[in-house]
Chain A
Amino acid sequence: MTIPTFIFKNALRNQRRALLSVSSVAASLFLLVTLQVALRELTLPVESSGAELRICARNKVSLTNPLPARQRPIIEKIPGVEGVSPFTWFGGQYQNEGGMTFAQFAMDPKETRRVFTDIKLDEAALAEFVSQKNAAIIGKVSADKYKFKPGDRFKLDSTVYPGSLDFIVAGIFSGTADDRMMFFHQDYLDESIGTPGYVGMWWLKVKSAADMAPVIQAINAAFQNTSAEVRAESERNFQLGFISMLGNIKALIASISTVVVFTLVLVTASTMSMAVRERFRELAILKALGFRRRELFAFILAESFGLAAAGACLGIGAAYILYTYGNISKMTAGIFVSFEVTPRIMGLAALVAALLGIISAVAPSVSVARMSVVNGLKTLD
């Protein structure tokens, strides 16, 4: 027999309790990892290639207020602007789905290569998209989800505009930060709703990073004191603005995570205290046989740490496998496209488990250290 064998046998002495303890640690750490990944996904600004040169211009009053289409030539003339496209939220529902299915935006297909440079779409599909007014291109995630293929026809009922629109799939794209989106012709939307002249936003691309600040300034200045003042900002700032609206969710997730960790500490500390309390006499015997305080502390710490580590391996491992190899889009009904369990999050969860093992061992170790052999024997004899 070795000391690790002795510790292992002691830890598994009450197998049901050990199993329940490991399971509670595993479940809590799984939840912690899930919450942290969700928090990261919600607060991580979209970083797509080309985003660093893209500007979003919206109505200064509100994102929901439209902008007049006549602003476009003015923006196009600003030095440093490479391409401009409308970007209008359609809010369509596919078939009879209750909630939002996937985001659809009306834009200018001719500007695809200039403004939306991260879209990966073959030239034939792009040509098809540009040439046909009711054509649409759909991100791969949504296409896979709804089994769309080029040539398919479908209808979307708008929750923003009256009526519905029929579309034909021109191509399936990928490469964007969110491959759930769908793009179609702004002209088609204008014609169909019968009130042309307005767009949701302007998305534009500048020629170089040096053009960002002057172009933003020029756009804001160009429409100052007009009926539709514009607020232009970099795509990154625009995304961060969205994230700031999630402030309460962020606080909520952080507080749930704290409660999870705190509860976990209480559960594990209680389990370890019970386990040690049951063996008080045995620990007194070990002391009588010559085991010192530090050795007994090491036994308790190793047992506590072992339980926490086993729970951590299970919980973190399960989260990693599920979110790495599972279809997260399907699991979350399309709410999350990616759900990356980063090394940092795994490290955080492992650190929590390690601290848990240490903290849980402290109280029982102190009582064992204080216990005299004579009292230890008397207590449970």
Chain B
Amino acid sequence: MAEPIVQIRELSKIYAQGEIQVIALDRISLDIAAGEFLALMGPSGSGKSTLLHIIAGVDRPTSGECRVQGLNVTRLNESALADWRNHNVGFIFQTFNLIPVLTAAENVELPLLLTRLGRAQRRRQVATALELVGLADRAKHLPRQLSGGQEQRVAIARALVTDPALIVADEPTGNLDAQSAHEVLGVLQSLRQDAGKTIILVTHDPKAAAFGTRQIHLEKGELLP
């Protein structure tokens, strides 16, 4: 196994709902290698999205540690974590979550507004990202002028425009037809193969999981052997 980019040790997440405690993750330990395409599977409520959120730095564990590229992200404060996410993580969501008033290119450019890059450099990176997902000709289209599959590809371009080491995708094909889903997964696969990105994919769909280089299953907050 290549050098792990993500190292998770004894990670637990417990939600307190009044007096009831719900264990979302129960002392999980996991290594994810750099350049791996990991499919994280499991039924609803198994804790797979929670695990993904903690790895991506948008949620915090109750205990345990999560190191990404050697950095314990659970110890970072809110501001440092935001900065870290901007530079190191690309997000892809089930519902695309593009800003409706911005064009495809502007949506892709959003994470770059937080960097010190000049306008010309930003434009070049946006063009490259859109080209990688095959949407260079749709740069000036608004989200409502794109199909679901195209919207998700714009979201993928937005995720990779800052050139992050890690791309996390939470049910990215959940809202797509079979053809579009296949295209999107193909783009993710080529990102791993051609650009060496590490991809973590949360999915229910075994067909989608088949695109991964490794599949792991979660159930009731525990990793299945």
Contact = CB atoms under 8 A, between A and B. Distances in A.
Contacts of B119: 2
B113 A6 contact: yes
B102 A1 contact: yes
A285 B93 contact: yes
B113 A292 contact: no
Interface in B72-103: 78-79, 82-87, 91, 93-95, 97, 99-102
B205 interface: no
Nearest to B82: A292
Interface in B44-87: 53, 56, 58-59, 78-79, 82-87
Interface string B99-119: 111100110011101100001
Nearest to B170: A377
Contacts of B101: 9-10, 12-13
A373 B106 CA distance: 21
A290 interface: yes
B82 A290 contact: yes
B105 to A, nearest CB: 8
A290 B83 contact: yes
Interface string A295-324: 100000000000000000000000000000
B91 A289 contact: yes
A123 interface: no
Given A288-B85, A292-B83, A374-B53, A3 B113 contact: yes
B111 A290 contact: yes
Contacts, number: 70
Interface residues of A, number: 25
Nearest to A13: B101
A215 B86 CA distance: 82
A291 B82 CA distance: 6
Contacts of B111: 289-290
Interface residues of B, number: 30
A35 B100 CA distance: 42
Nearest to A290: B86
Contacts of B87: 290
Interface string A265-307: 0000000000000000110011111111101000000000000
Given A1-B113, A290-B111, A372 B59 contact: yes
Contacts of B56: 288
Interface in B150-179: 158
Contacts of B114: 289-291, 295
Given A9-B102, A288-B58, A291-B114, A281 B97 contact: yes
A381 interface: yes
Nearest to B123: A1
Nearest to A8: B101
Interface in A8-49: 9-10, 12-13
Interface string B190-222: 000000000000000000000000000000000
Given A1-B102, A377-B93, A289 B86 contact: yes
A282 B97 contact: yes
A285 B86 CA distance: 12
A159 B126 CA distance: 82
A21 B46 CA distance: 46
Contact of B95 (A287, A372, A381): A381
A13 B143 CA distance: 14
A291 B106 CA distance: 16
Which among B56, B82, B91 has the highest number of chain A CB atoms within 10 Å? B82
Which among B59, B91, B97 has the highest number of chain A CB atoms within 10 Å? B97
A374 B58 contact: yes
Contacts of A9: 101-102
Nearest to B122: A1
A374 B158 CA distance: 19
A66 B110 CA distance: 81
Contacts of A3: 113
B174 to A, nearest CB: 11
A13 B102 CA distance: 10
Contacts of B83: 290, 292
Nearest to B59: A374
Nearest to B90: A289
A181 to B, nearest CB: 60
A3 B102 CA distance: 12
Nearest to A296: B82
A285 B110 CA distance: 11
30 contacts: A1-B113, A2-B113, A6-B102, A6-B106, A9-B102, A12-B101, A285-B91, A287-B82, A288-B58, A288-B91, A289-B85, A289-B111, A289-B114, A289-B158, A290-B82, A290-B83, A290-B85, A290-B87, A290-B111, A292-B78, A292-B79, A292-B82, A292-B83, A293-B78, A295-B114, A372-B58, A372-B59, A373-B59, A374-B58, A374-B59
Given A288-B85, A292-B83, 7 more contacts: A1-B102, A13-B101, A289-B91, A290-B83, A292-B78, A374-B58, A381-B94
Top-7 shortest CB links A-B: A290-B86, A373-B58, A292-B82, A1-B106, A9-B101, A285-B97, A289-B111
